[in-house]
Structure 1
Amino acid sequence: MKNISRDRDGFSLPEFLAYASISGAMRPFTRANRYSIGLVVPDWDRRVTYIRAALVVLDRELNFRFRDQVRAFDDEKAESSTDSVLDMLQNTKTIILFKSAEAVPSDLRHALDAVVHVPSPDSRLVRGVVRWAYGIGVTEQQAEALARSNWKRLKLAMTRGRPISRVFAILEKMAQEELPAQRQTKDPDTLSGIRLEDMEGYGEAKEWGLELARDISDWRAGTISWEDVDKGVLLSGPPGTGKTMFARALAASCKVKVIATSYAKWQAKGYLNDFLKAMQRSFKEAKNAAPSILFIDELDAFGSRDGAAGSNASYDIKAINGLLEELDGIEGREGVIVVAACNHPKMVDAAILRAGRLDRHVVISLPDEHAREAIFRMHLHDCLTADDHRDFAAATSGLSGAEIEKITRNARRSARRRRGPITRGDVILHLPFMADIPRIS
């Protein structure tokens, strides 16, 4: 630890522990002029802390915010992650973090000088680092407790001059307060009960959403910048295809808040000034809640400036200009993903769809039979048989997800009136044709 300052900006006990662990693991390479090392870290959730520590191992004067010499390898996007590492291998010294030895691609394993396992901090290491960094002596039991602690809480609790007894009291209080918070019912405006992983029939939209969830997780962890995250998407399709549900499920998978609004909500008072203020409030709310998803419905209601005519032309043009200004954001909108929905994408002004705004367009079509079966299963909570779900799907060709949800909602209402569990007959009663469905052989 002699090569690092106790007063280093951004460093607290977790970073010091990570630095000590990495330094010990890399001791055989400390005198080498060039190397490319793969580090298998013991806890992937702590990778941002290990990145900061690894950069200081490379150069104690290096600002840990610059990550061109250290990277966390994403094994879920192995091909693209390997490509991004290739240029790094040309650096004089490079460190790549991996979650496990199995996550190291064979080609990259051969390219690296070594793959080294970083040990978890043990009580002996913790006692030494705490004494060095804070001048505090801790017992064996206290050191073991600190080694097991959540590093985010530890960073908040362990400050200079604070007695160790006070540190443990704060850690205990943080842990106690987290338990009831975990048991609280989720705010329906924050997280939907349905996640993208549970949804069928969304094709490209689902693939994009799951990729976005991974990118937001990486951005939160500090392994990618906001420039690497998609800023927005336009969803189009017939009414009832589940565009709003998709936005809520996307927020649930991304573990972010969703702020839902629409052209009609912004225009509620009619006057242009009120419209623009309402729009600005929605974007501000999303920025304050970042990372978040701002869902804008009825985007096609804005129209296009090219087609603006008549007495409302000035209103429409200024409304679109106001939206473009918010999408660009003079102060940026880091952490805000804009998901817009419409029925008629050709009516949307071309400038809204330019790069950096809503430059990705995904069409959500009416669900096919397989998707309808999955939608019935999702809304009925698997309380009926697989044959029932297939039969209902076969009988609802051409219906949207919203129409299927209405059928299941009415079926549950019928079951409540009978004071009994939902049955096949309850669903059939509310299908488009009220006749029993023959079994599909």
Structure 2
Amino acid sequence: MAREHVTLPVYMAYCAIAGALRPWNREGSRAIVTLEVQDDYYTPLYTQAARVFAAGIWRPNEWEDSHVFEWSAKSGRDEVQAEKSQRAIFLSPPEYRLTEENRLFSDAVIPMGPRTRRHAEAALRRAKLPVDESTIDLLMSEPWSRLSKAFQDRRGPLQALDRLRQTRGQNSKDADSETTESTGPTLAEMHGIGPALDWGNNLAKDLADYRAGVIGWKDVDGGVLISGPPGGGKTMFASALANTCQVPIVFGSVSRWQEAGALDEHLKAMRNSFAEAKARAPSILFIDEVDTIGNRMEADRNRGYMRGVIAGLLELLDGFERRAGVVVLGACNYPQLVDPAIRRPGRLDRHLEIAPPDAQSRLAILGFHAGLDLDGDQAEKFEFATDGFSGAEIERLVRDAKRVARRRSETLSADHIVEQLPSVTVLPEDLLHCIAVHEAGHALVGFEIGHGQIADIKISSFRMDGSSRPLGQVEIERAAPRRRTKTA
């Protein structure tokens, strides 16, 4: 086994595989063996470790990388290839349920336990690094995904450990502290986004009870579908939810999974996101663009491919007990396009619509991106001019204001923000008086004819240039319908 081709975490995974496959650890042996791995799993590392093991027991002219496979619903071609060579290692990830056919095909199905401290010690000794308890604790507590990113062929193991410790201090919460360093807003800073806000606050309380052992995972909402227009704040809501719940968030995307390539690679990328979220549980897995995954009833030339993708996602969503601690948030623009099976009970069975941000929420979004608070006329002008704006549009407005301030060598201020607002005109006092009288007339007539209770009367001090938006309105709570009679 060439040292330069095996990183420290790969060797840790190799130790687990070698221990499980000890009866076959001899050169020239022939077998098709399945390793049934537990929750502590990361596909790229374990696949590479299995290839290293296989290269050691099978002669180079008999060895191909393709002799290591991962069981999935689409493993037919892998079985043909394994049967042809009469030697292969199949990995069964935690979210996959081995079928009777899988077991019959395998010469042996061996449960493989998680990494151990002995594996970490062996990896440190092989890398000629000091074997101390703090380093072993680090290697045992970090998710496989972070270990894989830290230890690279181009980077020495000591340098990798230093980088791992540095980022751990920046990105993980102190075990002795009850607070975490926020990298964005919390739900307390978001307003006017509809029922999603109440659901998120309830989830935060449930996760706290789950961590305290008060409730089991079955009492926590493990999957929800959120929808809204592009740029409407779905991603910001997910980040705010994670900050409120004080749990890590893993970002996935249907389009990024698809970039992995063919169906097998697509499915592996999807499973890796779930595995990373599981390794960091309790956590939130945010899946963006879930409506683009398609519907199994659609008929086009890509139907077979997408059916395989949807089937793979359903398997991952169905593993409720196995993904204990992982809340899945699927985000989309068009919920009606999501396959009904994805929205069945036990999967993404709750649908929440992210409403456009109201005035208070828009001011909070501005404060987050710009670090500024508007007051008085500036706040009123901002609320009026950004009516209907999404969070992304407000972020763009702040970006433009910052650019102007930089060009002028000035510190960003509220004036720069107001300057970027759509052009509005301040209405003169006499016109405001006319609008007020007009709206008061609507209110009086509505009240006298019993149209309903007057809830609010609003007039605007501004007019947006080129807009036909009403300058005033009367909000009426309509009375309950009355049964009609001959006299009324």
Q: TM-score, normalised by structure 1?
A: 0.55
Partner of 1:143: none
Aligned counterparts of 1:324 and 1:437: Cα–Cα separation in 2: 55
- Residues 1:390 and 2:380 are matched in the alignment: yes
Give the direction of change, closer, same or farther, for the CA distance of 1:438–1:239 in structure 2 (3 Å limit).
farther
Give the direction of change, closer, same or farther, for the CA distance of 1:190–1:234 in structure 2 (3 Å limit).
farther
Partner of 1:345: 335
Does structure 2 conserve the Cα–Cα contact (< 8 Å) formed by 1:194 and 1:249?
Answer: yes
Between the aligned residues of both structures, percent identity stands at: 49
- Residues 1:421 and 2:411 are matched in the alignment: yes
Partner of 2:310: 320
Cα deviation per residue 1:372-421 (whole Å; 9 max; x = unaligned)? 23333443334432532221120122221110111112212322333333
Partner of 1:242: 233
Partner of 2:347: 357
User: Paired residue for 2:364, among 363, 366, 374?
Assistant: 374
Shift of 1:210: 0.8
- The one-letter code sitting in structure 2 at the alignment partner of 1:355 is P
Aligned counterparts of 1:242 and 1:259: Cα–Cα separation in 2: 17
Cα deviation per residue 1:124-152 (whole Å; 9 max; x = unaligned)? xxxxxxxxxxxxxxxxxxxxxxxxxxxxx
Aligned counterparts of 1:294 and 1:393: Cα–Cα separation in 2: 33
- Residues 1:251 and 2:225 are matched in the alignment: no
Aligned counterparts of 2:350 and 2:300: Cα–Cα separation in 1: 31
Aligned counterparts of 2:327 and 2:222: Cα–Cα separation in 1: 5
- The one-letter code sitting in structure 2 at the alignment partner of 1:209 is G
Residues 138-157 of structure 1: matches in 2 within 5 Å?
none
Residues 136-215 of structure 1: matches in 2 within 5 Å?
185-186=170-171, 192-215=183-206
Residues 227-306 of structure 1: matches in 2 within 5 Å?
227-306=218-297
- The one-letter code sitting in structure 1 at the alignment partner of 2:340 is A
Shift of 1:184: 5.2
Cα deviation per residue 1:99-130 (whole Å; 9 max; x = unaligned)? xxxxxxxxxxxxxxxxxxxxxxxxxxxxxxxx
Structure 2 SS opposite 1:311: coil
Shift of 1:436: 6.7
Does structure 1 conserve the Cα–Cα contact (< 8 Å) formed by 2:191 and 2:358?
Answer: no
- Residues 1:226 and 2:217 are matched in the alignment: yes
Shift of 1:429: 3.2
Shift of 1:331: 5.9
- The one-letter code sitting in structure 2 at the alignment partner of 1:246 is F
Structure 1 SS opposite 2:386: coil
Does structure 2 conserve the Cα–Cα contact (< 8 Å) formed by 1:237 and 1:363?
Answer: yes
Aligned counterparts of 1:184 and 1:206: Cα–Cα separation in 2: 30
Does structure 2 conserve the Cα–Cα contact (< 8 Å) formed by 1:294 and 1:339?
Answer: yes
Structure 2: runs of 5+ lacking an equivalent:
1-164, 174-179, 429-459, 462-488
Aligned counterparts of 2:320 and 2:335: Cα–Cα separation in 1: 26
Residues 3-22 of structure 1: matches in 2 within 5 Å?
none
Q: TM-score, normalised by structure 2?
A: 0.50
Shift of 1:194: 1.2
Does structure 2 conserve the Cα–Cα contact (< 8 Å) formed by 1:192 and 1:249?
Answer: no
- The one-letter code sitting in structure 2 at the alignment partner of 1:271 is A
Aligned counterparts of 2:338 and 2:358: Cα–Cα separation in 1: 27
Shift of 1:187: 6.8
Does structure 1 conserve the Cα–Cα contact (< 8 Å) formed by 2:248 and 2:284?
Answer: yes
Give the direction of change, closer, same or farther, for the CA distance of 1:332–1:185 in structure 2 (3 Å limit).
closer
Does structure 2 conserve the Cα–Cα contact (< 8 Å) formed by 1:195 and 1:249?
Answer: yes
- The one-letter code sitting in structure 1 at the alignment partner of 2:333 is N
Aligned-CA RMSD value:
2.8
Structure 1 SS opposite 2:301: helix
Cα deviation per residue 1:343-362 (whole Å; 9 max; x = unaligned)? 00000011111111111100
Aligned counterparts of 1:369 and 1:384: Cα–Cα separation in 2: 12
Structure 2 SS opposite 1:295: strand
Structure 1: runs of 5+ lacking an equivalent:
1-179
Partner of 2:48: none
Shift of 1:303: 1.3
